[in-house]
Amino acid sequence: MKQTATLLISCPDQKGLVAAIADFLLQHDANILHADQHQDAELKLFLMRVEWDLAGFKLDTAAFDPAFQPIAEKFQMNWRLALSTTRPKLAIFVSKYDHCLADLLYRHQANELHCEIPLIVSNHADTRWMAEAYGIPFQHVEVLKDVKLEAERDQLALLRHHHIDFIVLARYMQVLSPEFIRHFPNRIINIHHSFLPAFHGARPYHRAFQRGVKLIGATSHYVTETLDDGPIIEQDVARISHRDQIDDLVQKGADLEKIVLSRAVRWHVENRVLVYANKTVVFD
């Protein structure tokens, strides 16, 4: 597997950006493997992802920041460098529904997700057996209405202990507090069982059935302080008919949820997602 570096950039759109970035990489003998960009004409914003092979790259990655900083300052860039040798640490939060957890653990074992999973946290003990089957530490943190903040403090302590980089809510049926979310900005990925912005909040399948919709969906998004309103990473839909009952919607929706969540996690891990203006660009 090639060792690569990926540069993610967002900045005001202006002439000379692509040339400046390409010239900088050329000066250090970078072999560019992938380059993609997007201009938001309305916001006059430029976004770019460029990945190159580290074999033969003449600039030590530890020296990259000071070397690139003059270009970043000239063009007012927000940027970060990611290395393929780095495996981010993921904590999975789950309640009783286990289909998304099972899918993520299988994909991780099959090397589809380039990350570590040192921790599974649940407010119920139902999925402990699954964590044990995959050899991953499981922590049951009970969340009671009157002591929810205390539970979150325990969860944050666990996350710090395991040096967690990002969190996935795999049908975790609790609303996180704003204080918790602020510890992981754009680093908490949720799966919502509807095609947002339709049917946000609780019991979306029941409300979709009552409305008589012909399509149901699933949405994976970053978590913000506003419920089910964070930047959307991925969505998909399935067609239903008048013959489908609520149980059918739940079953069909569960398949969507697994696929949509795993895509979002993979793209996040592969540094393909840039967030701006409460939405995302997902680079191919």
Residue 232 to residue 268: CA distance in whole angstroms? 12
**Sequence-separated (6 or more) residues with CB below 8 Å from residue 201:** 227, 228
CA torsion 116-106-168-272 (nearest 10°) is 70
Go through 220-252 and write b for each residue having 16 or more CB atoms within 10 A of its CB, e for each that does not: bbbbbeeebebbbbbbbbeebeeebeeeebbeb
What three-state secondary structure class fits 68?
helix
Residue 48 to residue 66: CA distance in whole angstroms? 20
Q: Which amino acid is at 104?
A: L
Residue 188 · residue 167 · CB < 8 Å: yes
Q: In this structure, what DSSP letter does residue 175 have?
A: P
Q: Which residues are catalytic?
A: 228
Q: Which amino acid is at 243?
A: R
DSSP string of 74-113, one letter each residue: HTT-EEEEEETT---EEEEEE-S--HHHHHHHHHHHTT-S
> What would the two tokens of residue 137 be?
């530490």
Listed residue (129, 107, 1) closest to 53, CA to CA: 1
Q: Which amino acid is at 12?
A: P
Pairing of strands 45-53, 138-140: unpaired
